[in-house]
Amino acid sequence: MTTKSKYFCPECDGDGEYECSECGIGEIDCDYCEGTGWDPEQVDVAAFQEAVGVMHQKARDDGCIFLSCEGIDQTTNTRWGRDGGKHGSVAVIDYLL
């Protein structure tokens, strides 16, 4: 991942997935962070995922097929959460432990 955050998962370095070390094929969701890329020692990953799900449901209810994208501060190149445009956003700092 080219962006950075002090809340990144130490197992996948914020990617949320990794290449299987046994077979070397494909990307596998990181078990430690449940594919979020956030460090579960610092972030309530389940609550973060639930909030993203609520935001995505709002988008679906509005007829959108585009749900959200990585929220990245373009000035600092720091990942801050998920951005759903007019349907809201979910910032990782709101889910720190």
Tens of pLDDT, residues 7-55: 999 999 998 887 776 776 667 788 899 999 999 999 999 999 999 999 9
Are 71 and 85 in contact by the 8 Å Cβ rule? The answer is no
pLDDT 10s digits, 58-97:
999 999 989 999 999 999 999 999 999 999 999 999 999 9
pLDDT at residue 26 in the model: 66
Neighbouring CB atoms inside 10 A of 60's CB total 12
Residue pair 73/92 in contact by the 8 Å Cβ criterion: no
Q: Cβ(50)–Cβ(44) under 8 Å?
A: no
Reported pTM: 0.86
Cβ atoms < 10 Å from Cβ of 9: 25
